[in-house]
Amino acid sequence: MSVQISQQQTELAELMKRYSRQDGVHETDIPSLFFVRESHVAQPVYGVYKPSFCVIIQGEKEVLLSKERFRYSSADYLVASVNLPVTGQVINASTAAPYLALKLEFTPSQVLEVLSDSDIQARPEKSAKRAMFVSKIEPSLLDAVVRLASLLDNPRDIPVLAPIFTKEILYRVLQGPHGGVLEQIAIEGSYTYRIKDVIEHIMKNYNRTFRVEELADIANMSVSSLHRHFKSITAMSPIQFQKQLRLQEARRLLLTNSTDAADAAFRVGYESPSQFSREYSRMFGFAPREDIKRLREKI
């Protein structure tokens, strides 16, 4: 790691410690910018990554997308270009050196604006690619991150400068080795652009049954083409994608509401409580009641 990157990370770490004094995910006054702090190796966390740029300042993390592992540290950054259900786990953290990470969410329209204002020759890929990647951090990219985060010390500058620095971060990522993956979400007609619409439909209707032909129509693809490109982009089939959303939401309901497993199963779209229990146990490693009891004891 270069001296310049090390200095930039030291500056970011000091700033982040001031604005995230406790463990957890912290919203900032900068729109779509979040700080994450963990002072110990945590249990796996299940959730949906929105399109986002993530950089670790201190520590290490592993993200599981279906069965594919993405491991990254302070030498890297991670990008998710579409909504993706994942399992994340901090694997290197301590009280003396807490895990510190920064997440910047973005939209396809922001990516399109960068492409429109730059000389990047964006064109649809001939084949769909995974909508998540890890790449090595560069000083020019980290410099833009430092300037964006430092606006927290000058809040009056946020409305004018935050969009400019966010745009620069996206520009640097688009110029990087995996920039072609990111640009696809903004190119109308690309496989990623069309699958993005299918993902949005599944997320809005995860608790109802739908036919694969219905999804294929949304993407303007054949059923076989939909399956192939959906799996290339998300590492799972549409049904597996829906299942992860259902189980994540059921777990949230069980943890935050006084509801039982059968009711949670019904609310997320399962008709068979026994099937729900089997699939829940397969995903989370414990039966619903045992899992929730275990989680509540740790709160």
What pLDDT is attached to residue 1? 67
CB-CB neighbours of 213 under 10 Å: 10
How buried is 2 (Cβ within 10 angstroms: 0-12 exposed, 13-18 middle, 19+ buried)?
exposed
Q: What one-character-per-residue DSSP string does 35-89 give?
A: EEEESSPPPPEEEEEPSEEEEEEESEEEEEETTEEEEEETTEEEEE-S-EEEEEE
What pLDDT is attached to residue 213? 96
What pLDDT is attached to residue 299? 59
What pLDDT is attached to residue 296? 80
What pLDDT is attached to residue 38? 96
Which tokens is 239 given?
């049904």
What pLDDT is attached to residue 81? 97
CA–CA separation, 86 and 84 (whole Å) = 6
Q: What one-character-per-residue DSSP string does 235-257 give?
A: SS-HHHHHHHHHHHHHHHHHHHS
What pLDDT is attached to residue 121? 78
Distance set, CA 229 to CA 13, 71, 176, 221 (Å): 39, 24, 23, 10
**Each residue's pLDDT expressed in tens, for the chain with a length of 299 residues:** 688 999 999 999 999 999 999 999 999 999 999 999 999 998 899 999 999 999 999 999 999 999 999 999 999 999 999 999 999 999 999 999 999 999 999 999 999 999 999 988 777 777 889 999 999 999 999 999 999 999 999 999 999 999 999 999 999 999 999 999 999 999 988 999 999 999 999 999 999 999 999 999 999 999 999 999 999 999 999 999 999 999 999 999 999 887 899 999 999 999 999 999 999 999 999 999 999 888 887 75
CA–CA separation, 229 and 255 (whole Å) = 34
Which tokens is 296 given?
């509540």
